[in-house]
Amino acid sequence: MSKLGNIPVQAKSEKKRTNPLARVFDELIQFCQSRSMFMLHYCTGCGAIELPPAMTSRFDMERLGIQPMVTPRQADILLVTGYVSVKTLKRVILTYEQMQSPKYVIGICSCTVNGGMYWQSYATAKVLNEYLPVDVYIAGCMPRPEAVIMGLRRLMSNIENGKGNAWKDYYERYDYYLGNQQHLFGDDWQTPVDVIGEAKFYDLEGEETYGEHTRTLEQHQEPLEAAVMRVKL
Amino acid sequence: MTMPGIEVVFYTGAIGLIVIGMAGVLMVKNVFRMLLALVLLEAGASLLLILSGFRETGVAPILLSGHAAGQLMNDPVPQALVLTAIVIGVGIQALALALILRIKHRYHSLDMGEIREQMEHDIAVNSGVVSPASAQSPEPGGHHHG
Amino acid sequence: MDNLILVVILPLLAAFLMPAMARTSEVLARVTGLMVLFISIIIITSVWGSVDEQAVSYAIGGFRPPMGIVFYIDQLSLLFALLIPVMILLFWPWNKVTHIREYSLMMLLTASASGLVLSGDLFNIYVFYELLAVASYGLVVAQGRAGKKGEGAALAASLRYLILGAVGSVMMLIGIAIIYTQAGTLNLAHLALLAPEKLNNMAGLSAFALILIGVGVKAELFPVNTWVPEVYGAVSTRLSALMAGLLSKLAVIVIIRVLVLLFPQPEALQLMTILGMLGVISGELVAWRSRDMIRMLSFSSIGQLGLVFVAFSIPGDMGLMAGFAVALHHLLVKPALFMLASGWTGPLESLKGAAKQSPYIAALFVLLVMSLLGVPPLPGFWAKLLIVVNLASQAAPVYQFALAFVLIATVIEAAYLYRVVMILYHPNQGQQASVREKHKAFELVIASGAAVILIAVALQVQSMETKLSSMARQTGDRQHYINTVFSKLDLADIYHQNKVQQTDFRSNNQLQGSK
Amino acid sequence: MASFNSISELLAQLLFMPMLAFLLGLVMVLMYRKIAARLQRRIGPPFFQPVYDIVKLYSKDTQISHGLIHDIGIVVAVGGYVAAVILLPVPGMDGIADKGGIITLSYFLMIPSLGMALGVGQCANPNGSIGISRALTAMLAYDIPFIIVVFGVALHYQSTSLVGMIDYQQAHQWGIFEMPLLAAAGLFALQGMMGKHPFEIYVAPAEIATGPMVEMSGKFMGGLFVMQSFQFYVASVLYTSLFLGGGANWFEFLLKIFFVVEIPMSISFLFPRYRTEDMVRIMWKWPVMLALIGIAFVI
Amino acid sequence: MSVLDEVFILCALGALVLFVFHRIRGIEKLAVVFYAALLYLLIKMSGLGYGGEVIYSSFSLNILGETLQWRFDAVSWFFAIITVASGLFSAVFMSGKWGESYREKTSNAAYGTLQIALLLNVNSMLILLASGDLLSLFIGWELVSWASFMMMALNPDKQARQAAIKYIVYAMAGAMAFLAAMAYVYGITGSLQYAELAQASAALSNGQIILLSLLFFTGFAIKMGLIPFHLWQAVAYAETPAPGAVFLGAISARMGLYAIIVVLIQLIGLGHLQQIHIPFTFWNLQTVLAWVGALTTIIPTYIALKQNDARHLLAWHGVGQGGYMLLGLMTLNSLGSAGGLLHVFNYATYQAALFMTIGAVIYRTGTANFDKLGGLVTQMPLTFMVMVFSIIGLAGLPPMNGFVSKWMVYRSLLLDGEPLLFVAAVIGTLGTILSVYKLVHNTFLGQLRVEHQNVREAPLSLLIPMLVLAAIMFVTGMMPGLVLDWVASAQLAMGLVPVTYNLGGIVLASGGLDMIWITLILFYGLGVGAIIFYLLGGRAKRVHQYDNYAGGHFLTSRVRYHYSHNFYAGLMHLIGGWYRGSFKKLEQAIVSLVSLLSQLSENMYRSAQPAMMVIIVVVLSLWSISGGIN
């Protein structure tokens, strides 16, 4: 259990890293990862307005090694900056799944914690960590840049200490997250990202990776095997 | 200033005939008149040919026993030639008349322009370039503007 | 050699007798024509080759030239004397329903054509030319194309042709009159002797221009050839083939005879060049626009005759040789093409896929077209090469223009002929070509024969070249002509007479006197 | 013509030169980011930031590939620059450089672009394809002035060998003094070649999500970071060799290359981004004009 | 009987046999054997490629006082071996599966006709290459035009047929220009022998030389598709059935180059080209021709950039590459001309391979339209590999052979100090890179279409010639000395100073080229790159093509997101205005002019009064005669 309130992040895996570099130079790698974070700020709501001040000359995130990146493929942190409607959440999830591990989610603003001022809304996902493994929440409406940087530093120290493993939770308890997603989006919910395949490929499966929800998924899933280059004469 | 010789008159006449004939062939639209112009043209040419053997003081080229040596005779060869030419000319004119009659019968016109248009249309129909349906009212210009 | 006159007389007689014979026995009348033609062929083949070295002249009725009328027989006239009955035989209107007067007209055509090429006298040439004209006017009417609209078109075309021809004849007559005024004789050999001093002037040149234009009507000379598309469009392809192939060449031969013997002026040649090259370009240009094959071939024929004139207008034996080559080539190819066209009437687009229907005919067509265009190694190429090479060797600028015109015209020619080839080979999937008529057997035979000859000539180019060049040398040799027609005695006579300066009826005429 | 004394020297050069280039390139990347930060009144990244970035990218646990060509694209992008680096003369190590020459080198510089273009192509990402389309257009834009400059320089020195050019300059005078116009045009082309502001329309992050790099994750992106450091190095050394007389010794060499690379970096952030066609237009207008006038002087 | 006689006898026999048996199945094997035998005979003559004596045919023809003879020298042999090899590769290409499918689509006879067309092309080109005087050159020239026309007319497509017609009109125009030049030569020298012309050309005046060169060059340029006669070629070649396109694309247009070499360089002579100045300009003939080459590298290349069909794109590049050859040749120094000649060889290899890959793609997918392709790399990896090799060659990047020849051309332009020509050549090359990337991207990369998910690799019979060609490209790229032997002999035969070379490339004091080193260095670099990529970093998972970042959009098979249409939109904003179709308009203007004249003539022939023309002409000529005499 993480320190952060009742977030049910249950990363407990002590499996070896899949990356050969990471296996050998564990400490060094963790240090580098904490000092080089590319953030994809998915600007869902008003909180995004606080990020530019955090990046520019007053606070200068770059001195912490944090840079904005625009594509999930290159990014390490997903900043969800505000309320997440159901429609937006689909995109957030897809974007998250397209990021490459290790990857971290920071929920900014109260809306991501409990729905905030949208707590009554029928179209808003209230608790972000039901759908994605959130590493850090930064509460406030909106949190000031100092708070944002504070949160980021917290994440940095987590990573450096080997605690930033929420991303493994998504693989190991995929069925849980998928279930919540299916509850919101319907049973035919599917992203083009083959999360289960990734878990298998990188040996990141846990006991709760599979379950009834993944079975539901399998029933109507469009095949997602990569096209294999082969010579068929 | 001497009077021009009689040849000049003859030559002028011949060439005048030719010019009139030519003008006729060129300007007349009626086929029959065109034929008449052709006759004039031929007459002019024949006259020209005869004139080439004409001597002003010559006599008829008939060798008589009392013929004085050295007296100029008109050249008989052109005369013979012209006779032939006239005969041929008449033949051709007759043929042309026959043709004109039959054309008149078919095309109901003696106007060269109209004959040409109908003929072109007929040729076009015959070679399949124009459909025979439009045969009743041949367009000016026939098929070539296709 | 003496019985060569029969080549003229027999058909002439037959022409007049046939209608009379038909009253007693129609079969006899029908056979007579063929018999005559065969006899003509036999007569000519029997003397074939005897004039290779030395031409022969033959005074009719025993009167010695220049008084008498002569036949002049050299390689050129013999060749055409043979070609005439052969071609007429090939295009003989075999048909049970053919009216007997058509045969009669064909005979008249044979006689006059033979006379035309054999005659050595200008006025005789005129007479035969007129006879030829009458026969062809008649044939145009008689052999109008089948179909409802055929007769009217044939009549009108014939009339228009007649008027044009008659005006042309008059021009020729005026030309002859001028010549007579100048030289006082109409015997070609005699004229040839006198030409350098009597005809080498403005009057002579005018006479040539008049004769050129007069005879040019039949020779499809630009621009007195407006009858060509009308007549070929109105008559059967058989007659078109005959006219485009043979008759036009006869007229050309007349012009060449006159030109070579009588008119040494370069201006005469250049006049011919200009008319020829305009003919080439205009003919090919209109052919490019044509929408049916007969019309296309008519204009192509105009173009090719223009080429013939350009070739003949090159001074010297080489020009004659080039002219003969291209004229004979056209004589071979164009009738064959007309034969193929007769089964392919209708707009060109309707011929799509015709090659699939009749591959052999299409292949023949391609071969003929290739030769017409001058694709090596077919004979057409060598003919065109001769022209081009000799045109380029001439200094006068008009020849350079002619060269350019000829080459440009060839490109245009290629454009439309290949278009037809492409249409023939159109992969008209599943559809039948909408060809209306089938080719008749004799048409195919003629076309195949032409193709075989083409290939044979292509293989025997070298020997053909020697033959043509010897023919050209003989034709171009003015002195040879004079020496052949006149014996030494005659020559002496003539020289004497010329010195004595016409004591009797031959005297100075006005025009000469005024000079 | 220079040659090597032994195989071992050759191998040493083959190993040493890419490593040197990489390290210097990393410093240049840092320098670039520092300059940007300072111009924006920020502190900027720490000294080892480029290393952190590369290590982090290479140590990603998961990464995606769209196929073999995607992989090979990165291999060629890096490998092409390694090969180009080997052909660049550095003080005391110009044996292999002599095998190349300026024309060959110019072509070698196109190989990484093409390799990467192929790799991006297989990603089947339209943003990537658009980026490549823009990148190749940009290459068309800056290569023409660059090639004209190369031509003028080679014509001036009557040689295509970089080593020969450096020898000539060290014996006579620096190229920048003999050919100031060409040098100016070359600097212009250099700006385009580095693919940084203001000529970075092909990455256009907010528009096409970094274009060619859109599907690059983990070691793919790491490879591109390595390539970037090579790119800075190559551009600066090339310019130094052509116009600043190469380096007689290491100190001079380093001084020159950092000085050279500092100029376009400083210019970078002073201008807004150019659109593709505007880039082509400006590249074909001013530097080409300068270069052609320069050549006229050379001739 | 010389080897050349054997070649001709074999050609005749082959044509005969093929013609008789062309409907029979299995004829394709016979054709392959024929080309192989022909290649064997050429290899028997390979002494020519290494400085051997000229080989004469014992067959000759005497006509019009001219002796027509046929012979092979080093230049002819160089071109001939490329021709026959291209024929062989095309024949192999069409002998297997491709032939079967073509048979099914059309008929046995159509397939046989294609074989005949190919054979006639090869034969006629050999006749052309063997020509020993202007007349035989012309004969060969016409035969080649005919054979190509036959090949082009085989595609039933409407566009293809129009292209064929256009081609033959252009070809005839070219032939007529050639004929005019030949006639002009005859007018001057009275002979059509090479030797006579070579002698006489020394004594000709400048004007005559300019006229002659212009006429000859027009004729040859049309065949080669040089500016401004470039419009016909691309469409005609592209629309030919694939093996035909392979052959025509590889070598056919190069006959123009051969003729330029023979006539302009060997006969009219280098000295003339360099010395004769065009009046009122600063240019000499050489510069003009070089500029024609340079413009030809640029304009067709940028037309290619706009094409939306792979075959058309390639064919347009074929036109453009001809410009490099002429440009190289017209430097007239040893290096540049060697580059031009070497480019003929190199170009033949990669153009043939490229057309084969596109042929294979069409064989499998049925289209070459960029808007209907994409992502085939996973399905046809070997074909893709050949295409990549070939486009590297076409773009002239190391280590393929295209780089060597382009390097030589550039280097010689540098030596000569020709900045503008150099820039022109570079602009062409850059355009080529842009356009070949478009080619490979739009066919093989990007999104794989749903309907192509079951496409398989090209069959072996198509792959083998492609792979062999790719190997040749690489080997001769790494060791250009193999081909430079032949090139140097050809240069000697042309009367140029042969280039100094070794196995690895060019030896020059001021910076040569050693491809062996360059290739090794490149591979070393790639090796380092591979080590960095594969040994460092973790495993990468292959993902489905729909797992792709599209701004959060969910990609499915229903969404087409392959970026292929108007690929270089940005560039087109700038240069789009230049695609005015000026040459097309010129062509149309000429057609309109002919049309107008034709209409005028037709109207003249339709005068209402039949005798009008007679009288007009009589009056005119009499008037002019009287005027002329006075």
Chains E and C touch (3+ CB pairs under 8 A): yes
Q: Which residue of E has its CA nearest to B18?
A: E615
Shortest Cα–Cα distance, E348 to chain C (Å) = 28
In a domain, C118, yes or no: no
The partner residue sitting opposite A192, judged by closest CB among E379, E382, E554, is E554
Shortest Cα–Cα distance, B113 to chain C (Å) = 11
Q: Which residues in B lie closer than 8 A to residue E604 (C-beta atoms)?
A: none
Asked if D64 and A100 come within 8 Å (Cβ–Cβ), the reply is yes
Tokens found for residue E159 = 């566009």
How large is the greatest C-alpha to C-alpha distance in chain E, in angstroms? 103
Shortest Cα–Cα distance, E142 to chain C (Å) = 7
Residues of chain E with pLDDT under 70: 627-630
Mean predicted confidence (pLDDT) in C420-437: 68
Q: What is the pLDDT of residue B143?
A: 44
What is the residue type of D29? Answer: V
Into how many domains does chain A fold? 1
The partner residue sitting opposite E615, judged by closest CB among B22, B29, B144, is B22
What is the residue type of E345? Answer: F
Q: What is the pLDDT of residue C148?
A: 66
Q: What is the CATH number of the domain that holds A63?
A: 3.40.50.12280
Say how far apart CA E487 and CA C341 lie, in whole Å.
52
E555 interface with A at CB cutoff 8 Å: yes
Q: Chains near C, with 3+ CB pairs < 8 A? A: B, E
CB atoms within 10 A of CB E25: 13
Provide the percentage of residues in chain C whose pLDDT is more than 90: 13
Name the nearest CA neighbour of C361 among C254, C440, C246, C273: C440
Residue listed under structure tokens 């974070």: A37
pLDDT per residue over A2-22, tens digit each?
A: 444 445 555 555 566 667 776
Q: Which residue of C has its CA nearest to E189?
A: C393
B69: confidence class by pLDDT, cuts 50, 70, 90:
low
Element (H, E) at E238: helix E231-238
Chains B and C touch (3+ CB pairs under 8 A): yes
Asked if B115 and C157 come within 8 Å (Cβ–Cβ), the reply is no
B78 upstream amide cis, omega within 30 of 0: no
Residue B67 pLDDT exceeds 60: no
Size of interface A-E (CB pairs under 8 A): 81
Name the nearest CA neighbour of E401 among E340, E500, E474, E467: E474
Asked if E64 and C271 come within 8 Å (Cβ–Cβ), the reply is no
Element (H, E) at D134: helix D126-157
| Residue C141 contacts residue C154 (beta carbons within 8 Å) | yes
D119 interface with E at CB cutoff 8 Å: no
Asked if D45 and A71 come within 8 Å (Cβ–Cβ), the reply is no
In a domain, C175, yes or no: no
Shortest Cα–Cα distance, A5 to chain E (Å) = 30
In a domain, A103, yes or no: yes
| Residue A133 contacts residue A8 (beta carbons within 8 Å) | no
Q: What is the pLDDT of residue C308?
A: 92
Q: What is the pLDDT of residue A40?
A: 85
Name the nearest CA neighbour of B86 among B32, B38, B47, B46: B46
In a domain, C424, yes or no: yes
How are beta strands E55-63 and E66-72 bridged, if at all?
Answer: antiparallel
Say how far apart CA A134 and CA D81 lie, in whole Å.
40
Top residue of C401, C407, C424 to mutate, by most chain E CBs within 10 Å, is C407
Q: What is the pLDDT of residue B141?
A: 43
Element (H, E) at C70: strand C69-73
pLDDT per residue over C193-209, tens digit each?
A: 888 887 888 888 888 88
The partner residue sitting opposite D52, judged by closest CB among A35, A56, A74, is A35
Into how many domains does chain C fold? 1
Say how far apart CA E240 and CA E246 lie, in whole Å.
9
Say how far apart CA E379 and CA D3 lie, in whole Å.
47
CB atoms within 10 A of CB C448: 16
Determine the Cα angle at C249 with ends C246 and C250, to 5°: 85
D212 upstream amide cis, omega within 30 of 0: no
Q: Which residues in E lie closer than 8 A to residue B112 (C-beta atoms)?
A: 608-610
Shortest Cα–Cα distance, B85 to chain E (Å) = 20
Say how far apart CA C310 and CA C314 lie, in whole Å.
7
B70: confidence class by pLDDT, cuts 50, 70, 90:
low
H-helix segments, B28-75: 31-51
C397 upstream amide cis, omega within 30 of 0: no
| Residue E264 contacts residue E216 (beta carbons within 8 Å) | yes
Q: Which residue of A has its CA nearest to E461?
A: A233
| DSSP annotation of E497 | P
| Residue A3 φ/ψ, nearest 5 degrees | -70, -20
A22 interface with E at CB cutoff 8 Å: yes
The fold of the B6-56+74-134 domain, in CATH, is: Helix Hairpins (1.10.287)
Q: Which residues in C lie closer than 8 A to residue E64 (C-beta atoms)?
A: 382, 385-386, 389, 465
C66 upstream amide cis, omega within 30 of 0: yes
E541 interface with A at CB cutoff 8 Å: yes
Say how far apart CA D30 and CA D35 lie, in whole Å.
8
D46 interface with A at CB cutoff 8 Å: yes
The partner residue sitting opposite C223, judged by closest CB among E149, E168, E613, is E613
Asked if D219 and E537 come within 8 Å (Cβ–Cβ), the reply is yes
Top residue of A23, A71, A229 to mutate, by most chain D CBs within 10 Å, is A71
Q: Which residue of E has its CA nearest to C228?
A: E605
Cα first-last separation, chain C? 44
pLDDT per residue over C449-486, tens digit each?
A: 999 998 998 888 888 888 888 888 888 888 888 888 88
pLDDT per residue over E284-297, tens digit each?
A: 888 888 888 899 99
B108-112, D2-6, D271-275, range with the lowest pLDDT: D2-6
Q: Phi-psi category of E296—alpha, beta or left, where left has phi over 0 and alpha has psi -120 to 50? A: alpha
Tokens found for residue C104 = 């009669």
A193 interface with E at CB cutoff 8 Å: yes
Q: What is the pLDDT of residue B136?
A: 45
In a domain, C437, yes or no: yes
Mean predicted confidence (pLDDT) in C313-328: 89
Q: Which residues pair with B111 in a beta bridge?
A: B30
Beta-carbon contacts of C342 under 8 Å, excluding residues fewer than 6 positions away, are C236, C237, C238, C437, C439, C440, C443
Asked if D75 and E395 come within 8 Å (Cβ–Cβ), the reply is no
A70 interface with E at CB cutoff 8 Å: no
Q: What is the pLDDT of residue D4?
A: 57
Q: Which residue of E has its CA nearest to A231?
A: E457
pLDDT per residue over A107-127, tens digit each?
A: 888 888 888 888 888 888 888
pLDDT per residue over D194-229, tens digit each?
A: 877 788 777 777 777 788 888 888 889 999 899 989
Mean predicted confidence (pLDDT) in D160-184: 82
| Residue E221 contacts residue E229 (beta carbons within 8 Å) | yes
Tokens found for residue E11 = 């050609």
Residues of chain A with pLDDT under 70: 1-18, 22
B residues 38-67 near E, CB within 8 Å? none
Q: Chains near A, with 3+ CB pairs < 8 A? A: D, E
Asked if E529 and D77 come within 8 Å (Cβ–Cβ), the reply is yes
Shortest Cα–Cα distance, C18 to chain E (Å) = 33
The partner residue sitting opposite E448, judged by closest CB among A21, A72, A227, is A227
The partner residue sitting opposite B112, judged by closest CB among E602, E606, E608, is E608
Q: What is the pLDDT of residue B71?
A: 63
Tokens found for residue C337 = 């093409």
How are beta strands A124-125 and A84-85 bridged, if at all?
Answer: antiparallel
The partner residue sitting opposite D107, judged by closest CB among E378, E397, E540, is E397
Beta-strand ranges (E) seen in A21-153 are: 37-42, 66-68, 77-81, 84-85, 104-108, 124-125, 136-138
Chains E and B touch (3+ CB pairs under 8 A): yes
Top residue of A35, A77, A194 to mutate, by most chain D CBs within 10 Å, is A35
In a domain, A108, yes or no: yes
Q: What is the pLDDT of residue E564?
A: 81
Mean predicted confidence (pLDDT) in C172-183: 86
Q: Which residues in E lie closer than 8 A to residue C217 (C-beta atoms)?
A: 614
What is the average pLDDT value for chain C, to the nearest integer?
Answer: 83
Q: Which residue of A has its CA nearest to D44?
A: A63
Q: Chains near D, with 3+ CB pairs < 8 A? A: A, E
Can you give the residue range of the structural domain that contains A95? 20-167
Assembly ipTM: 0.83
Can you give the residue range of the structural domain that contains C309? 270-486
C376 interface with E at CB cutoff 8 Å: yes
The sign one gets for the Cα dihedral C14, C19, C22, C24 is negative
The partner residue sitting opposite D155, judged by closest CB among E414, E437, E569, is E414
Say how far apart CA A200 and CA E162 lie, in whole Å.
59
Size of interface C-E (CB pairs under 8 A): 159
Asked if E169 and C223 come within 8 Å (Cβ–Cβ), the reply is no
Q: Which residue of D has its CA nearest to A200?
A: D62
Q: What is the pLDDT of residue E629?
A: 47
Tokens found for residue B101 = 């009659």
Asked if E179 and C407 come within 8 Å (Cβ–Cβ), the reply is yes
C392 interface with E at CB cutoff 8 Å: yes
| Residue C293 contacts residue C344 (beta carbons within 8 Å) | yes
